[in-house]
């Protein structure tokens, strides 16, 4: 059997064993697509069921989350934590609160997280969790009661040496605060290292809030620099207007880029003078409003409810909202308008068909597991600070983040070259992350 046939047969087993989880199949297929070239050179990675073990989470926890709304009505949501792989360190990965969350989504995110965390070079395993709870439109008290109920079950499965959750869609500083408070109450321990993304006044790291977006901007700058360009004067479109998008916009602007469009689930705004970040932050972070309100402050800007943000011409595109938001039609529009770089701020926002369009057009494309790894890397720095009861200055932490992103960029570039696919960040990131995890799994035996 050729290595390609072997990888295909393992992929078919994974699909059959995990029926009805299309996002997980998609994430696995993307990694599997890089594996046969590795197995051609290193056949021992196919021994001892290594790939099969890697695809099966070490532990999957599904639990009931009952809570009471402000009117006294009882709601029941479903909670998840998938502890995927702990070969490099405690499970590490965010919690997502969104109505679309199900086991397949959590497994896709957890699987990606294994390789992303390996790429950071830091001692963190891969995991992910969340709930189908929708925080949108809920009062502060309702969100708090939900978080307390969620943590009442989750607390017995996590810990600073076991599993360290953080935020993701729908889980920001507010939710991490409620979750941490309940963990402390249930365990009677001030265990700072059990969650990351905490407030900087009580164990959080400087730059953690900004890290995913800042890191993606650093990564894009590194991509441009390999072609003797930079973000300075470059026209950029960023989808989303949540944690990742806002801080990607901030750092791109600091590096001289012109961000002309961003979005939320209700539509997108275009401001050809450049997005006014203060206004955007006020709408999204303070008022928890909709991006459409931006035009109230800037009448020259436009809001489009029905349409694709990827129709807006740009040099650089950063999909930073959610999975599969950039399809082949969108990729074709980007290429037609002359895009040079696409980097994933979100997890798996680009469909396989869109990646094919970008590859064929020779657009530099960075997968999320490399480009958005700055968030989890800074979470690992938060864990380091918690372990040493220390807290680092903003600039020092930001410099460490930039350095880590530079190293991830180099690893992806060098690995792609080593395996005969120069400039292919997808294969470079997949192969580099896989080898790190696979070597550790072999060293630790069949567990």
Query: Of the listed 92, 107, 116, 128, which one is catalytic?
Result: 128
Nearer to ligand NDP, 263 or 415 (CB): 263
Which segment (54-62, 118-126, 321-329, 437-445) binds ligand NDP by CB under 6 A? 321-329
Write down the least CB distance from residue 277 to ligand NDP, Å.
14
Write down the least CB distance from residue 265 to ligand NDP, Å.
3
- Residue 250 interacts with ligand NDP (CB under 6 A)? no
Which segment (274-282, 345-353, 412-420, 422-430) binds ligand NDP by CB under 6 A? 345-353
Q: What angle do CA 355, 361, 363 make, to 5 degrees?
A: 70
Beta pairing, strands 341-343 & 267-270: unpaired
- Residue 429 interacts with ligand NDP (CB under 6 A)? no
Measured in whole angstroms, how far is the alpha carbon of residue 373 from the centre of its chain?
A: 7
Written as one string, the DSSP assignment of 11-74 is HHHHHHHTTT-HHHHHHHHHHHTTHHHHHHH-GGGGGGGHHHHHHS-SEEEEEEEEEE-TTS-E
What residue is closest to ligand NDP based on CB?
A: 242
- Residue 287 interacts with ligand NDP (CB under 6 A)? no
Dihedral sign from CA coordinates of 408, 409, 410, 411: positive
Candidates 110, 170, 203, 257: give the one binding ligand NDP (CB under 6 A): 170
**Site mask for ligand NDP (CB under 6 A), range 201-240, x = bound:** -----------x---------------------------x
- Residue 397 interacts with ligand NDP (CB under 6 A)? no
Measured in whole angstroms, how far is the alpha carbon of residue 119 from the centre of its chain?
A: 13
The full length of the chain comes to 447
- Residue 385 interacts with ligand NDP (CB under 6 A)? no
Candidates 169, 195, 259, 342: give the one binding ligand NDP (CB under 6 A): 169
CB within 8 Å of 166: residues ≥ 6 apart: 92, 93, 94, 95, 176, 195, 196, 197, 375, 376, 379
The DSSP letter of residue 337 is: T
Structure tokens at 179: 């979750």
- Residue 152 interacts with ligand NDP (CB under 6 A)? no
Candidates 83, 149, 347, 385: give the one binding ligand NDP (CB under 6 A): 347
Does residue 235 contact residue 313 with C-beta atoms inside 8 Å? Answer: yes
Structure tokens at 190: 């001030």
Rounded CA separation 302/288 (Å):
20
- Residue 165 interacts with ligand NDP (CB under 6 A)? no
Structure tokens at 134: 């929708």
Q: Is 128 a catalytic residue?
A: yes
- Residue 319 interacts with ligand NDP (CB under 6 A)? no
Q: Residues 92 to 121: which contact ligand NDP by CB under 6 A?
A: 94
Chain residues in the site for ligand NDP (CB under 6 A): 94, 167-170, 212, 240-245, 263-266, 320-322, 325, 345-347, 372, 375
Q: Which residues are catalytic?
A: 128
């Amino acid at each position: 059997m050729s290595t390609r046939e072997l990888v295909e047969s393992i992929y078919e087993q994974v699909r059959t064993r995990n029926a009805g989880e299309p996002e997980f199949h998609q994430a696995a297929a993307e990694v599997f697509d890089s594996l046969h070239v590795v197995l051609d050179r290193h056949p021992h990675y196919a021994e001892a069921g290594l790939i099969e073990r890697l695809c099966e989470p070490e532990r999957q926890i599904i639990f009931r989350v009952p809570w009471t709304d402000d009117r006294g009505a009882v709601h029941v949501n479903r909670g998840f934590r998938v502890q995927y792989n702990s070969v490099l360190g405690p499970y590490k990965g965010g919690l997502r609160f969104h109505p679309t969350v199900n086991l397949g989504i959590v497994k896709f995110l957890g699987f990606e997280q294994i390789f992303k965390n390996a790429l950071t070079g830091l001692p963190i395993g891969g995991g992910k969790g969340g709930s189908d709870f929708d925080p949108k439109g809920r009062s502060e008290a309702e969100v708090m009661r939900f978080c307390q109920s969620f943590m009442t079950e989750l607390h017995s499965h996590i810990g600073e040496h076991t599993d360290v959750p953080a935020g993701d869609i729908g889980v920001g500083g507010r939710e991490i605060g409620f979750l941490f408070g309940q963990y402390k109450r249930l365990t009677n321990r001030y265990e700072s290292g059990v969650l990351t993304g905490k407030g900087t006044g009580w164990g959080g790291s400087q730059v953690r809030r900004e890290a995913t977006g800042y890191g993606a901007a650093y990564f894009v700058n590194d991509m441009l620099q390999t072609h003797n360009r930079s973000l300075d004067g470059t026209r950029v479109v960023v989808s989303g207007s949540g944690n990742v998008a806002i801080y990607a916009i901030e750092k791109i602007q600091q590096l001289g880029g012109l961000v002309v469009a961003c979005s939320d689930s209700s539509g997108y705004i275009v401001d050809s003078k450049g997005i006014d970040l203060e206004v955007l932050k006020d709408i999204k972070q303070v008022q928890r409003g909709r991006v459409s309100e931006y035009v109230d402050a800037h009448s020259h800007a436009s809001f489009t409810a029905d349409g694709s943000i990827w129709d807006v011409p740009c040099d650089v595109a950063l999909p930073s909202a959610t999975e599969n938001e950039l399809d082949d039609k969108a990729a074709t529009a980007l290429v037609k308008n002359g895009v040079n770089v696409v980097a994933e701020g979100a997890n798996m926002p680009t469909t396989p068909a869109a990646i094919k369009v970008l590859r064929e057009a020779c657009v530099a494309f960075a997968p999320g597991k490399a480009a958005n790894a700055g968030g989890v890397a800074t979470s690992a720095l938060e864990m380091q600070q918690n372990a040493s009861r220390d807290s680092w200055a903003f600039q020092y932490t930001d410099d460490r983040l930039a350095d880590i992103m530079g190293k991830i960029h180099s690893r992806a570039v060098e690995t792609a070259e080593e395996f005969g696919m120069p400039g292919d960040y997808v294969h470079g990131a997949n192969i580099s992350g896989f080898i790190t995890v696979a070597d550790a799994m072999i060293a630790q035996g069949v567990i």
